[in-house]
A and B are shown apart, each in its own frame.
Chain A
Amino acid sequence: MTAGCEPGVPRAILHLDMDAFYASVEVRDDPTLAGKPVIVGGSERRGVVCAASYEARKFGIRSAQPMATAHRLCPRGIFLPVRMARYREVSRLIFAIFHRFTPLVEPLSVDEAFLDVTGCERLFGSPEKIARDIKAVVREETGLTVSAGVATSKHVAKIASDLGKPDGLLVVPPGTEIAFLAPLPVGRLWGVGKVTEGALERMGVRTIRDIAALPVDTLIGRFGAHGAHMHALANGIDDRPVETGNEVKSIGHEDTYEQDIRGRKTMERQLLDLAHRVASRMRRHDFRGRTVTLKVKYSDFEQVTRAESLQQTTDDGGTIYRIARRLLDKTEAGARPVRLLGISLSNLEGEEAPAISGPDGVVLENRMDRERATMAGGPELHSRKPVQLSLFGGSGQGAAKAKAPEAPAPSVVSPLRQEALNKTVDRIHEKYGRKGILPGRLLEED
């Protein structure tokens, strides 16, 4: 759902971003932690910082830093494990508050969202007042602080909320976007990471003003379509609508390993494990996906992704594994040690998600509830979307592009038998847990 606003009327977009969300929830649940450096993150040896309270940030601790570094920077900090279920619970409360003001809520994660409040003035007052009211209600009902950016586009609103942190409220009035953006460093632009920033720096481009002044052709020549996008953003142009998140866009799984893995065989086994886990999640939620994405993080934290699209959607672990293994060949995994592997499926096809908004996890949980209800009502109520069966089995069978790399070997089992097998495996998992039945290779020792 998108805002149906009249052309010419400037939009009113809010970006709301909870301050140090995980850490703030921990402090709220244990008030004795107030004022102390609180760091929430993964297990000590390998994990990364997920959130740090503002007190902890004074020590130089940042999100995504290895926990080991955080320990070094702040040995007396309070280190806590991630309690995702709890954060989701609080997140639900906060999103419910957002929804009191507008149905147009686009969740970016559990603690961040865009709201489109165009045309809500009569009801709730100016966009600035709405932002102030939301901040007050969130504080009153959850005890947490949220930073808000108010602008005519998502991009500018996001930068504004960021600049105001913590507990900020920054309004960029219509017509002042370009002046607001101009002096900021290029790294503030959406989609400009370290690599792009470096490349821009070598071109002598440091501020958003510099980008806006460049001919768009120069940027396209250097960065392709992304260049055109940057140019538009730098000139304050960003028409992307606020999209309510009632659609799951991808389903995936990733693991950070206790120790860097080096052996190709070990990596393949990890991929097999991931592939089956992703596949069973897909099946549990009645999704099929077309695009397989492999994520590899090397020991030095450099991260690459490789993706490939299938001709037909799949929810089969074996098929996902075969693609992922081939994608692994396109990385330097093996030559370089790997600390994280992840597989996700996107381009999803499946039942429409229920029309509720909220971060990903919320949507999925609700789907599960509904599924359970359906199953309780008997199997005949569980109607499936029609699925066109395929003549040639396997994912890539007979469908490789000319001169394209060889298609992965098709499954030796016919797709229908594979599907029946997968269903049986799912039932065993339901009854005996994930270890109830596993591919033999996952039982091997390294």
Chain B
Amino acid sequence: MNFTVDRDQLEGLLSRVQGVSERRHTMPVLSHALIRADASGLTMVASDLEIVIRCTVTGATVTAEGAIALPAKKFFDIAKVLPKGDVTISMTKEGTSVKISGKSGNFRLAGLPAQEFPEMPEKPSSKPVAVDGELFRKLADRVSPFASSDETRYNLAGVLLEQHDLDGASMLRMVATDGHRLALSDGEVPGIAALFGARKALVPRKGLTEIRKLAEGGVGSIEMSVSEKFLFVGKGDTEIWVRLLDADFPDYRQVIPKGNPLSAKVPREAFTAALKRVAVMAPEKVHSVKLAFEGSRLDVSTTSPDLGEASDTVEVEYAGEPLKIGFNGKYLQEAVAGVSEDNLLIEMKDDVSQAVIRPESGTSFLAIIMPMRIF
């Protein structure tokens, strides 16, 4: 193996793949990136068995074909310190390491045989559907904080992707819940029914983050397809496979309350600011915050038993009976962040039932939060 590649290109490639490499030592080869130089150019693959990422560079000059797995993080560190310009990478005689030389600096880096690297999953046979990158990022950002970070709650540790019909429009829907709160967000994606019509995909959080990163880079759309085991996403010279969670997502429709009688119209920015202000004094673990609705007044307050209190008032439109209700303030902030409109609605029934937070108009986002019993 012998090839020459531009240093910036090499660093860019490595920065994309090394995030996926697994640094834990269960399978040493997973901390490595598979480097392959052949007629099609230079390809790099990283995998943690759950996520596989493959990037190809066409600009490399390959003088001898070959493949080796190299420690991803170390290779990345080397690329970063090389000067601008061409970098030549060649296999040593024994075939167990490579020489890396730039305009200045020579390195030898030991690797593992390419055969030890896990096999690539196949690409799903379903026809790929184009999803606008910006839309994907928006949906993912709104719901992913709501997924469970508790690894034992396997079926909640991911984001559900499914399709949803809205007045004949075909929507991509993302849903996430950690058992205390839930968020769903819809965005129109023509043809998405072909992908998720029969099959939903439960995508682990880390995998969704990788796809989100890909969707975010540059303009344009991502190509998405799905098989029984994998969600596959391609964009430009990068492809990502994410292994789906093999678990049942709870029937989330059941917990969406219908017709909560107490509705408050709340200005988003003022409410966000008030939440951030009182959060400073909220108890550290539980982040408990009290909301008191009465007429046009919403009092936001918190108490840390040994430390003190904080409160703030937001002007709202509320016609219901006075209501005091407790929440995890962090949950509130993350729900409000999903709303991009100027005003949001908080719909409640009482202080122990699900509250709904959604934009004043439109159905692009919906959050449900269970109250916290504080009073």
A interface residues with partner B (beta carbon < 8 Å): 309, 311-312, 384-392, 397-403, 416
Contact = CB atoms under 8 A, between A and B. Distances in A.
B246 interface: yes
Q: Is the interface of B mostly helix, strand, loop or mixed?
A: loop
B327 to A, nearest CB: 9
Given A399-B155, A402-B247, A386 B288 contact: yes
Contacts of B180: 388-391
Contact of B372 (A312, A387, A402): A387
A389 B154 contact: no
Interface in B159-200: 177, 179-182
Given A386-B326, A388-B286, A399 B179 contact: yes
Contact of A387 (B156, B179, B181, B373): B373
A403 B249 CA distance: 13
Given A391-B177, A398-B179, A399-B156, 11 more contacts: A311-B150, A311-B153, A386-B288, A388-B372, A391-B181, A391-B182, A391-B368, A392-B250, A397-B250, A398-B156, A402-B245
A169 B286 CA distance: 49
Contacts of B156: 398-399
26 contacts: A311-B152, A311-B179, A312-B179, A384-B373, A388-B180, A388-B370, A388-B372, A389-B370, A390-B180, A390-B370, A391-B177, A391-B368, A392-B179, A392-B255, A398-B155, A398-B156, A398-B249, A398-B250, A398-B251, A399-B155, A400-B154, A400-B247, A400-B248, A401-B155, A402-B245, A402-B246
Contacts of A312: 179
A426 to B, nearest CB: 17
A271 to B, nearest CB: 24
A263 B326 CA distance: 48
A388 B354 CA distance: 12
A391 B155 contact: no
Interface of B: 150, 152-156, 177, 179-182, 245-251, 255, 283, 286, 288, 326, 328, 352, 354, 368, 370-374
A312 B370 CA distance: 15
Contacts of B352: 389, 416
Contacts of A389: 180, 352, 370-373
Contacts of A309: 152
Nearest to B369: A391
Contacts of B288: 386
A388 B373 CA distance: 6
A386 B152 contact: no
Contacts of B283: 386
A387 B286 CA distance: 8
A388 B288 CA distance: 9
Contacts of A399: 152-153, 155-156, 179
Nearest to A385: B286
Nearest to A404: B154
B200 to A, nearest CB: 15
A402 B204 CA distance: 13
A389 B352 CA distance: 8
A383 to B, nearest CB: 8
Contact of B354 (A391, A398, A401, A402): A391
A198 to B, nearest CB: 33
Nearest to B202: A402
Nearest to A402: B247
A384 B374 CA distance: 7
Nearest to A384: B373
Contacts of A311: 150, 152-153, 179
A354 to B, nearest CB: 15
Nearest to A309: B152
Contacts of A391: 177, 179-182, 255, 354, 368, 370
Q: What are the 9 closest A-B residue pairs judged by CB atoms, nearest first?
A: A398-B250, A402-B247, A389-B370, A386-B288, A401-B154, A386-B374, A387-B373, A402-B246, A386-B372
